[in-house]
Amino acid sequence: MMRKYPLRILLLAIFLVARTLASSQTKDPLELNLWYNEEKTAKIRIFKGDDDRFYGKIVWLKIPEVGGKPKLDLHNPDKAKRNDPIYGLLLLRGFKKDRAYEYGDGTIYDPKNGKTYSCKITHRDGKLDVRGFVGFSLFGRTTTWTKAD
């Protein structure tokens, strides 16, 4: 009778390890899709970094070139980065999951004006409400991103 218990403990341990591995590899809803910005001029891929925070970068542009050359980050406040292409640009940085469908503590960079804003993201009904703001969330603007094909 005593021999059954070590076997049960071993089976339980294997089950718990397998369950933990399976749940740790489950992707967050933000990571499951590419996202169109509101104007549908760019697609953004959101991914989880090594620090367990979320980041997003441009992986497609409707108009990737101007005059046969890649579209550049011309308004970047760092002059050394003004020759960097918009394609591949990291727009979202450092988002922490606050609740089931809310992400905060991050920033969003707007290449149209070269400014970085505090930001929060709410995932609802297959869309993302992306709110950039200065200081308080009350003083900001929300855009809605949709799933890309």
- Other C-beta atoms closer than 10 Å to the C-beta of 28 total 13
Domain annotation covers residue 52 = yes
Domain span at residue 63 reads 29-147
The predicted model scores a pTM of: 0.80
Please indicate, yes or no, if residue 74 is contained in any of the structural domains: yes
CATH number of the domain to which 112 belongs: 2.40.128.520
1 part of a folded domain: no
Half-sphere exposure of 80 (CA within 13 A, CB side): 0
Name the E strands within the chain: 34-36, 42-48, 54-61, 65-66, 69-70, 90-99, 102-110, 115-124, 127-133, 140-147
User: What domain count does the chain have?
Assistant: 1
Instruction: Please indicate, yes or no, if residue 8 is contained in any of the structural domains.
Output: no
**Has residue 119 been placed in a domain?**
yes
Secondary-structure percent of the chain, ordered helix, strand, coil, rounded to 5: 20, 45, 35
pLDDT digit string (tens) for the chain, length 149 residues = 455 566 666 666 676 555 555 444 578 989 999 999 999 999 999 999 999 999 999 999 999 999 999 999 999 999 999 999 999 999 999 999 998 899 999 999 999 999 999 999 999 999 999 999 998 888 899 999 999 97
